[in-house]
Amino acid sequence: MTFQRARTDEQRDQRRRQILDTAAAMLAEMPVGKVSLNELSRRTGLAKANVLRYFESREAILLQLLDAELTQWITALEDSLPPAEGTPRARGDRLAQALAESATGRPVLCDLISAQAGVLEHNVSTDVAVRHKHATLRHFQSLVHLIRRHLPELGTQDAFRFVGLLTLTVAAAWPYHQPPKALLDAYTAEPTLAGLQADFTDVVRQSAEITLSGLLARAEDAPLGPGPLDARPAQA
């Protein structure tokens, strides 16, 4: 393949899209930790230096894919959340179940969330970090809007709090979703250890149920950080 420099804005956009699409395809085959610039360069047919013309680092590419995955997830949730019927607790439990099952069905999203704080938010510039956090805030606002549509008893700030805790639960629970063979063998060999084998969907569901019940019972709706966060769904 003969390399040709992208000379127009359209060509540069196509090149960026090619890099993102290739990285997304790699994530469908391997975990975040296995995605390397060397392999991405090989698959796109671009030298590593040329990949870095469009994205400052591997982490910057993966953060943009996280943004895309969250956008797709929220769009899917719009049509898949359960009817807002019954008591607040019943609605909260159904919401928790739907969120857990939906997250389980999106392994790339969960893997990226799991790597976000410890890996992806490192080795990026301030400009990339600012764009990433603005995107995160937009996603939080959209999720708050969805959650309060099904559970209006939950205050705006508590809904933000719930979204943050849900994200942390996904990040913490995902690495346990596919334990290494040695642990699987240990659980089989020692039935008394079976209770330590975490089921991702169940962990996320239970955590979400308990968090929603606690927030509804306390009904504090205290501001997060220095002041209330804007709950209006942001326009992309």
Sequence spans of domains, the chain? 1-55, 58-218
Which residues touch 7 (CB under 8 Å, ≥6 apart)?
none
Q: Amino acid identity of 153?
A: E
Q: Determine which of 166-170, 180-184, 213-217 has the lowest per-residue pLDDT on average.
A: 180-184
The amino acid at residue 232 is: R
Question: How many residues comprise the chain?
Answer: 236
Tokens describing residue 59? 């982490």
Q: Hey, what CATH class is 58-218 in?
A: mainly alpha
The answer on pLDDT for 175 being more than 70 is yes
Buried b (16+ CB within 10 A) or exposed e, 57-74: bbbbbbbbbbbbbbeebb
Q: Is 116 in a helix, a strand, or coil?
A: helix
Instruction: Answer yes or no: is pLDDT of 41 > 60.
Output: yes
pTM of this structure: 0.88
What's the DSSP call for residue 175? G
pLDDT at 163: 97
By the 8 A CB rule, do 83 and 148 touch?
A: no
10 or 153, which is more confident: 153
Same fold, 1-55 and 58-218: no
pLDDT at 1 over 50: no
The C-alpha angle 59, 64, 67, rounded to 5 degrees, equals 125
1-55 CATH fold: Arc Repressor Mutant, subunit A (1.10.10)
Q: Which residue has the tokens 């508590």?
A: 158
User: Does the pLDDT at position 231 exceed 90?
Assistant: no
Please report the DSSP string for 191-213 in residue order. Answer: GGGGGGS--HHHHHHHHHHHHHH
Among candidate residues 66, 58, 56, 55, the one with its CA nearest the CA of residue 34:
58
Pairwise CA distance, residues 151 & 93, whole Å: 10
- Structural element, H or E, at residue 124: none
Region 83-90: what's the mean pLDDT? 90
Supply the pLDDT for residue 103. 97
